Amino acid sequence: MDTAYYTAAGPEQRASLLCAPKHRVAAGGRTRSPSFAARASLKSSGARASIPKQWYNLVADLPVKPPPQLHPQTHQPLVPSDLSPLFPDELIRQELTEERFVDIPEEVIDVYELWRPTPLIRAKRLEKLLGTPAKIYYKYEGTSPAGSHKANTAVPQAWYNAAAGVRSVVTETGAGQWGSALSFASSLFGLNCEVWQVRASFDQKPYRRLMMETWGATVHPSPSEATAAGRAILAADPSSPGSLGMAISEAVEVAATSADTKYCLGSVLNHVLLHQTVIGEECLEQLAALGEAPPDVVIGCTGGGSNFGGLAFPFIREKLAGRMSPEFRAVEPAACPTLTKGVYAYDFGDTAGLTPLMKMHTLGHGFVPDPIHAGGLRYHGMAPLISHVYELGFMEAIAIQQTECFQAALQFARTEGIIPAPEPTHAIAAAIREALECKKTGEEKIILMAMCGHGHFDLASYEMYLRGDMVDLSHPAEKLEASLAAVPKI
Ligand SMILES: *Cc1c(COP(=O)(O)O)cnc(C)c1O
């Protein structure tokens, strides 16, 4: 094996990969210079210290607080009891709190230790391929058991529900990542888990479903006959491919009508973004331990906004405090351009209008995005907190077509080895654009990117791209106009 490596890379190159001290990453990050054994012991002794003890709530530091969520019928600001049918008390408290830090329970840290701290890796071989003077770092969340950052919030959500005596949790899943993460977390705490998986993904990704079933969950395709919301959609369109908005309606309906069942959401909500800040907190520590300067630009893909917010929010705190000045760039699919083409308005989080009204960037709760490969980015809305931060001018957003994203994914896979999920290919494509811009200007920027999951269950999408069958999709203007017209007037 070693010989093959030498032949492929050349001994000098290999030596430089192993030894260059400035490429070393702090405990828990990827460390290349110590031997493997030393690395393993470093991880077991140092890892715990690097898992944050608290989640960070950006709301505490914002100069203007985000607008309140509203009751779906009365349009009055939500009070905690409005959310009681859906969530346990502690998660409701976290959803509404303005306190700066929230302690992470010991039991949750114990589970985080299965894969946290996650590696912060410098994409040296990708930099070389691009010929850029920029440094590209990626924080890789694909090491969790379910393969993405979603486990960072699935574990505390399952834990708080179990601690409150809840027996079952229900949820939706688009690409299958969130459903897998919650199935995994539920299995650890003895909760039943029921998942509505968007029909298009249920049909395309049988292995995601089997993963959920292996962890003990029950999976329904959505829309389903099991709920009133699902039956109404099927009556109007028996061959509906489903959408996240529809699947949320089904799961919320079941939670709201069963006593011992609560609902979990994998993105969008404040408490979800709060839990994801473990990513950014760890990353700040890892960059400092490396002796690396703060990033010039922080990039992440956005579906509902949780992996981007999780990485970016601690860095936004540092910027607001005057300690660094990165730019923040969200990347969305051209076929579901919520931040770049949506309106900022109160809208429902689901198709049937069962959720609270949230002020957010939205394409309209009835918008059914084309079935692009990045299923996790097919959501009509955007986290209210991300939308608010965007309105305040603290971040920017761009939209990229899927073929450019998959081209970037192949460059990444062939240099860094990791096969990305279709969602973070958007972040990779944007990081490559930035690195190529640096090549023109000669700027040695530090680019930090959220690499939120692996694509081992998404190889059918890679097959389409490799065969040359993948096409770019864009949202027809009439379809968008119609769904925007249905946004409630508040
Ligand atoms: C769910 C998911 C997304 C989109 O959700 P965000 O809340 O925007 O992070 C992106 N990437 C992966 C791998 C996902 O599982």
Domain identity same for 286 and 399: yes
Q: Characterise 51 by phi-psi region: left (phi > 0), alpha (psi -120 to 50), beta (else).
A: beta
Lowest mean pLDDT segment, chosen from 28-37, 115-124, 331-340, 363-372: 28-37
Domain identity same for 281 and 394: yes
* Domain endpoint, select from 263, 295, 311: 263
**pLDDT exceeds cutoff 50 at 17:** no
Q: How many Cβ atoms sit within 10 Å of the Cβ of residue 293?
A: 12
Domain identity same for 191 and 276: no
Lowest mean pLDDT segment, chosen from 214-223, 371-380, 417-426: 371-380
**pLDDT exceeds cutoff 50 at 1:** no
Domain identity same for 182 and 136: no
Q: Which atom of ligand 1 is least distant from the CA of 267?
A: 7
Q: What is the average pLDDT value for the chain, to the nearest integer?
A: 90
Q: Which residues pair with 332 in a beta bridge?
A: 399
Residue 36: band (very low, low, confident or very high) from pLDDT cuts 50, 70, 90: very low
pLDDT in tens, 258-312: 999 999 999 999 999 999 999 999 999 999 999 999 999 999 999 999 999 999 9
The more confident residue out of 421 and 24 is 421
User: In the prediction, which pLDDT does 54 show?
Assistant: 98
Side-chain-facing half-sphere of 61: CA atoms under 13 Å: 17
Buried b (16+ CB within 10 A) or exposed e, 115-144: bbbbbbbbbbbbbebbebebbbbbbbbbbb
**pLDDT exceeds cutoff 80 at 244:** yes
Distance 386 CA to ligand 1 centre (A): 14
Distance 306 CA to ligand 1 centre (A): 7
Evaluate whether residue 38 is within a structural domain.
Answer: no
**pLDDT exceeds cutoff 80 at 408:** yes
* Domain endpoint, select from 228, 263, 298: 263
Number of domains in the chain: 2
Domain identity same for 293 and 231: no
Q: How many Cβ atoms sit within 10 Å of the Cβ of residue 30?
A: 16
Q: Give residue for tokens 């029921």.
A: 194
- Mean pLDDT to the nearest integer, 14-23: 33
Q: Which atom of ligand 1 is least distant from the CA of 424?
A: 11
Q: How many residues does the chain have?
A: 490
Domain identity same for 293 and 217: no
DSSP-derived secondary structure for 264-329: --SSSSHHHHHHHTHHHHHHHHHHHHHTPPPPSEEEEE-SSSHHHHHHHHHHHHHHHTTS---EEE
User: In the prediction, which pLDDT does 383 show?
Assistant: 98
User: In the prediction, which pLDDT does 73 show?
Assistant: 93
CATH at 249: 3.40.50.1100
Q: State the residue range of the domain holding 325.
A: 120-146+270-485
Side-chain-facing half-sphere of 356: CA atoms under 13 Å: 28
- Prediction pTM value: 0.90
Domain identity same for 81 and 196: yes
Domain identity same for 219 and 188: yes
User: In the prediction, which pLDDT does 14 show?
Assistant: 33
Lowest mean pLDDT segment, chosen from 43-57, 347-361, 400-414, 439-453: 43-57
* Domain endpoint, select from 263, 293, 312: 263
Domain identity same for 389 and 322: yes
Which of 138, 140, 150 is the best mutation target for the ligand 1 pocket, counting ligand atoms within 8 Å of the beta carbon and taking the most?
A: 150
What are 134's two structure tokens?
A: 């920029």
Residue 25: band (very low, low, confident or very high) from pLDDT cuts 50, 70, 90: very low
